[in-house]
């Protein structure tokens, strides 16, 4: 490691150890940070040997696309196995699993491996009489087939043991009285595409429950919910993959994928598009009645509807005009229900161990609604209160674990004041697909996502900022949808990534309405991360800051996050002082200079009633914006972060990364400036002289 040698005596200055050039990350492309797609700007780089290297980012954004994930991406939550059946939740949820097949559709899992038209099952077959127990075990007992992950494990992890599925009793198998297509064509305008010319109008649930009751009696009321597993596929997981992804046009669909009546079209309309193959369209769509095909991994999502009465938060990604997704991959009640190995186009596999096998966790708004997080675990603020109290600064722990001591599960900022509370200008979703729609949001939430546990298959780790509604309702406009959480996208530009390839090799890009456009939505601390470290909402008069990243001994992330009003600075006296390091000799090519920033302001009492809770302990900081400059030919100075926070009377170390080229001048002056975000008139500057050794 390279030393900076001070001109003063060692006793007066001590020896400062700093990073040499080998400790500096030279980033030549976004791929070096694990970034994908041309949307990411190139980081600063060494070009032809005449530019200094950018210091390694403190919090690089590493976006991993769903289609590139495998089971190797799973990282357990340290110290606890929430899927362990020995763990008992506070609220036990008892379910019945009733398995049914059709005269024309056996259970996929009873067929020889890879033998059916869709290429399933993926494992050795199971006897028909064992199917109900096979699926009950698959969903509730950790094992080799489900990779140790269960629907009980999901809910236990999200609720920290407050809610879990402790019984899943198996019944059946039963043979339904009608063919699959008589149930599967009963939706999306498919009714007339039947082989015999009849009009499909069947509903699986009454026939299924009648067979179950005839066998076991009226025991349905003994269970909190009934999961009906039916032979075949959820149409939601096959309409695209065995429609336009497999066949160039509807006329190219071969007979085996078409209507059994060869005189009729081999295609059928589907929910989102004009056509898919008849075989794919004849399947049923999984609904919130908790009926699921053998390929479905979205049972946790359906339980969110059934057990907690939370609606969908997802858009229609295929209808024009396009509308951006609400929360995308970050919440299980949106398309985060599709998270898992291989991404959304692998949801056709049986058993369901790809695609939707590992849904995202619940966002803070939904955890609060479910009682999985208490208000005492979050920092509650008011927008108008911030104008009176000054900025708030607090630590937030990754949502996959309980918050650390003196940290929170998240921050809430209520949009209080006179109506309208949400002052976002009314946009036109018909012309702006990124519009959040009707400005009826009630509060902001900030939380931390880390790719561990069920969030292992989220695309990134970082800070998630969202606008939320207290209740539910459409966001209005063309193709409006029920939207109660709207994630703020740190990269709102088009991600410009391929969705799939048509059979002729043509690339089909992900539309602006694709939920994966939000893969890179998270905010990150520091400079050169590939993301953003702040967000300002001028209409709602708020500014959010991602100040610092922390990681504990077990690898769990937390962030220091700040928020302030644009309309008031509070009663505190603001001030700042910057002290330079000792004048030094740079003996190597790169080093860190430790400037000291001190908050010289003075605290003041704030009214504890201006926020929903007494937030006084988190109003004792100021937030500072940093900049650095250097004079001297061939020298370069860079910051790792443009932000710092310090309590009144306290200090923070601000490292400045200094580099020089071999032909640099003999010395350089490095200047650090800090400016209070609360009171920009309060600035401080410090300069240090650094010399190169003689003859070097």
Total residue length of the chain: 696
Written as six digits, the tokens of 580 are: 């330079």
Task: Decide which of 516, 537, 563 is a domain's last residue.
Answer: 563
8 domain-assigned: yes
- CATH code at 676? 2.60.40.10
410 domain-assigned: yes
Distance CA 621, CA 599 (A): 8
Phi and psi angles of residue 59, each rounded to the nearest 5 degrees, phi first? -150, 65
Could you tell me where the beta strands, DSSP code E, fall in 250-315? 267-268, 276-277, 291-293
Instruction: Supply the pLDDT for residue 76.
Output: 97
Q: In the predicted model, what is the mean pLDDT of residues 200-228?
A: 94
- Assign 53 a pLDDT band (cuts: 50, 70, 90): low
For residues 355 and 301, state if they share a domain: yes
For residues 511 and 545, state if they share a domain: yes
Q: In the predicted model, what is the mean pLDDT of residues 632-656?
A: 97
Distance CA 387, CA 610 (A): 9
Distance CA 174, CA 399 (A): 42
Averaged pLDDT of the chain? 91
Could you tell me which of 440, 275, 449, 241 has the C-alpha nearest to residue 349? 241
For residue 173, cis peptide bond before it (omega within 30 degrees of 0) = yes
- Statement: residue 2 has pLDDT above 80: no
For residues 106 and 226, state if they share a domain: yes
Q: In the predicted model, what is the mean pLDDT of residues 193-205?
A: 91
454 domain-assigned: yes
Could you tell me which of 372, 509, 524, 518 has the C-alpha nearest to residue 458? 518
Beta strands 410-414; 392-397: pairing state: unpaired
Could you tell me which of 416, 475, 414 has the C-alpha nearest to residue 440? 475
Could you tell me which of 593, 590, 642 has the C-alpha nearest to residue 26? 590
Distance CA 523, CA 539 (A): 20
CB atoms under 10 Å from CB of 612, counted, come to 16
- Assign 201 a pLDDT band (cuts: 50, 70, 90): confident
- Statement: residue 295 has pLDDT above 70: yes
Instruction: Supply the pLDDT for residue 54.
Output: 72
Is the Cβ–Cβ distance between 183 and 204 less than 8 Å? yes
Residues 6 or more apart whose Cβ sits within 8 Å of residue 206:
none
Could you tell me which of 667, 586, 642 has the C-alpha nearest to residue 21? 586
Q: Where are the alpha helices (DSSP H) in 330-461?
A: 364-370, 383-389
Written as six digits, the tokens of 205 are: 């649930």
Instruction: Supply the pLDDT for residue 288.
Output: 62
Is the Cβ–Cβ distance between 120 and 350 less than 8 Å? yes
Phi and psi angles of residue 688, each rounded to the nearest 5 degrees, phi first? -130, 145
DSSP state of 3: E
Is the Cβ–Cβ distance between 139 and 151 less than 8 Å? yes
- Statement: residue 546 has pLDDT above 50: yes
Task: Decide which of 544, 563, 582 is a domain's last residue.
Answer: 563
Beta strands 392-397; 498-501: pairing state: unpaired
For residues 211 and 299, state if they share a domain: yes
- Assign 93 a pLDDT band (cuts: 50, 70, 90): very high
For residues 32 and 134, state if they share a domain: no
627 domain-assigned: yes
Instruction: Supply the pLDDT for residue 695.
Output: 62
51 domain-assigned: yes
Distance CA 606, CA 609 (A): 9
- Assign 696 a pLDDT band (cuts: 50, 70, 90): low
260 domain-assigned: no
For residues 200 and 332, state if they share a domain: yes
| Burial tier of 617 (Cβ tally within 10 Å: 0-12, 13-18, 19+) | exposed
CB atoms under 10 Å from CB of 210, counted, come to 13
Give the residue, 48 or 499, on which the prediction is more confident: 499
Q: Which of 187-191, 283-287, 401-405, 642-646 has the lowest mean pLDDT?
A: 283-287
* Angle ∠(380,381,384) on CA atoms, nearest 5: 160
- Per residue in 135-164, pLDDT tens? 999 999 999 999 999 999 999 999 999 999
- Per residue in 315-369, pLDDT tens? 999 989 999 999 999 999 999 999 999 999 999 999 999 999 999 999 999 999 9
Instruction: Supply the pLDDT for residue 587.
Output: 84
Distance CA 79, CA 43 (A): 37
Residues 6 or more apart whose Cβ sits within 8 Å of residue 341:
69, 70, 71, 73, 353, 354, 355, 357, 358, 457
Half-sphere exposure of 509 toward its Cβ, with a 13 Å CA cutoff? 10
Distance CA 559, CA 371 (A): 24
- Per residue in 422-446, pLDDT tens? 999 998 999 999 999 999 999 999 9
- Assign 12 a pLDDT band (cuts: 50, 70, 90): very low
Phi and psi angles of residue 174, each rounded to the nearest 5 degrees, phi first? -125, 145
227 domain-assigned: yes
For 111-127, letters b (16+ CB in 10 Å) and e give eeeeebebebbbeebbe
- Report the Cα 36 to chain-centroid distance in Å: 16
Distance CA 76, CA 65 (A): 20
Instruction: Supply the pLDDT for residue 17.
Output: 27
Based on the structure, what is the number of domains in the chain?
3
- Statement: residue 39 has pLDDT above 90: no
Q: In the chain, pLDDT over 70 holds for what percent of residues?
A: 92
Distance CA 154, CA 163 (A): 10
- Statement: residue 15 has pLDDT above 60: no
For residues 494 and 555, state if they share a domain: yes
Q: Where are the alpha helices (DSSP H) in 168-298?
A: 180-184, 204-216, 278-281
Q: In the predicted model, what is the mean pLDDT of residues 624-652?
A: 97
| Burial tier of 463 (Cβ tally within 10 Å: 0-12, 13-18, 19+) | buried
For residues 358 and 409, state if they share a domain: no
Instruction: Supply the pLDDT for residue 286.
Output: 78
- Per residue in 653-679, pLDDT tens? 999 999 999 999 999 999 999 999 999
Range of the domain at 426: 380-563
Distance CA 200, CA 186 (A): 5
For residues 574 and 675, state if they share a domain: yes
- Statement: residue 694 has pLDDT above 50: yes
For residues 589 and 655, state if they share a domain: yes
Predicted model pTM = 0.92
For residues 127 and 224, state if they share a domain: yes
660 domain-assigned: yes
Is the Cβ–Cβ distance between 479 and 496 less than 8 Å? no
Query: What is the SS3 assignment for 195?
Result: coil
For residues 293 and 351, state if they share a domain: yes
Residues 6 or more apart whose Cβ sits within 8 Å of residue 506:
none
* Rg from Cα positions in the chain: 29
Written as six digits, the tokens of 476 are: 């209005």
CB atoms under 10 Å from CB of 613, counted, come to 15
Task: Decide which of 522, 545, 563 is a domain's last residue.
Answer: 563
- Strand-by-strand arrangement of the 590-598 sheet: 577-579, 590-598, 651-660, 635-639
Half-sphere exposure of 252 toward its Cβ, with a 13 Å CA cutoff? 11
């Amino acid at each position: 490691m390279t030393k900076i040698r001070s001109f003063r005596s060692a006793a007066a200055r001590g020896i400062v150890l700093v990073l040499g050039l080998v400790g500096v990350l030279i980033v030549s492309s976004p791929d070096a940070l694990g970034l994908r797609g041309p949307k990411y700007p190139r980081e600063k780089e060494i070009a032809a040997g005449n530019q200094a290297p950018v210091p390694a980012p403190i919090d690089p954004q590493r976006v991993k696309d769903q289609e590139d994930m495998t089971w190797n991406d799973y990282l357990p939550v340290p110290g606890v196995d929430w899927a362990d059946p020995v763990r008992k939740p506070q609220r036990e949820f008892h379910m019945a699993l009733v398995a049914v097949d059709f005269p024309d559709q056996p259970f996929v899992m009873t067929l020889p491996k890879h033998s059916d038209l869709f290429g399933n099952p993926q494992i050795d077959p199971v006897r028909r009489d064992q199917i109900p127990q096979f699926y009950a075990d698959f969903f509730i007992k950790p094992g080799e087939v489900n990779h140790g992950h269960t629907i009980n494990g999901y809910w236990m992890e999200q609720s920290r043991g407050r809610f879990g599925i402790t019984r899943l009793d198996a019944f059946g198998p039963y043979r339904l009285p009608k063919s699959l297509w008589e149930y599967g064509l009963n939706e999306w305008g498919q009714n007339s595409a039947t082989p015999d010319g009849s009009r499909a109008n069947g509903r699986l649930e009454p026939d299924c429950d009648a067979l179950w009751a005839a066998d076991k009696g009226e025991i349905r009321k003994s269970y909190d919910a009934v999961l009906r597993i039916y032979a075949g596929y959820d149409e939601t997981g096959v309409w695209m993959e065995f429609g336009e992804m497999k066949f160039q046009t509807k006329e190219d669909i071969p007979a085996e994928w078409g209507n059994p009546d060869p005189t009729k079209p081999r295609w059928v309309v589907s929910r989102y598009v004009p056509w898919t193959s008849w075989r794919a369209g004849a399947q049923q769509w999984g609904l919130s009645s908790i009926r699921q095909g053998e390929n479905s991994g979205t049972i946790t999502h359906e339980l969110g509807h059934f057990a907690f009465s939370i609606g969908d938060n997802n858009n229609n990604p295929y209808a024009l005009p396009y509308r951006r997704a609400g929360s995308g991959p970050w919440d299980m009640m949106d398309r985060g229900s599709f998270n898992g190995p291989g991404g959304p186009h692998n949801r056709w596999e049986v058993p369901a161990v790809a695609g939707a096998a590992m849904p995202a966790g619940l966002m803070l708004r939904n955890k609060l609604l479910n009682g999985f997080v208490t208000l005492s675990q979050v920092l509650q603020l008011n927008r108008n209160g911030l104008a009176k109290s000054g900025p708030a600064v607090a630590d937030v722990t990754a949502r996959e674990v309980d918050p650390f001591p003196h940290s929170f599960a998240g921050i809430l900022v209520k949009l209080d004041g006179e109506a309208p509370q949400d002052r976002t200008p009314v946009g036109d979703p018909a012309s702006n697909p990124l519009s959040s729609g009707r400005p009826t949001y009630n509060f902001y939430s900030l939380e931390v996502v880390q790719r561990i546990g069920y969030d292992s298959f989220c695309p990134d780790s970082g800070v998630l900022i969202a606008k939320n509604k207290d209740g539910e309702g459409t966001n209005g406009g063309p193709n409006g949808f029920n939207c109660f959480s709207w994630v703020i996208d740190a990269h709102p530009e088009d991600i410009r990534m391929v969705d799939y390839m048509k059979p002729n090799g043509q690339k089909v890009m992900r539309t602006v309405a694709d939920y994966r456009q939000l893969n890179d939505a998270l905010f990150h601390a520091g400079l050169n991360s590939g993301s953003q470290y702040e967000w300002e909402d001028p209409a709602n008069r708020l500014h959010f800051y991602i100040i610092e990243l922390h990681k504990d001994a077990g690898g769990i992330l937390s962030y220091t996050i700040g928020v302030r009003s644009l309309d008031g600075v509070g009663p505190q006296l603001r001030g700042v002082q910057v002290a330079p390091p000792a004048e030094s000799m740079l003996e190597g090519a790169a080093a860190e200079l430790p400037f000291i920033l001190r908050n010289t302001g003075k605290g003041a009492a704030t009214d504890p009633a201006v926020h929903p809770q007494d937030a006084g302990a988190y109003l004792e900081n100021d937030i500072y914006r940093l900049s650095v400059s250097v004079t001297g030919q061939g020298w370069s100075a860079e910051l790792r972060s443009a932000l710092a926070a310090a309590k009144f009377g306290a200090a923070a170390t601000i490292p400045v990364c200094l580099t020089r080229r071999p032909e640099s001048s003999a010395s350089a002056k490095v200047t650090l400036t800090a400016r209070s975000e609360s009171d920009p008139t309060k600035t401080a500057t410090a300069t240090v002289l650094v010399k190169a050794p003689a003859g070097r």
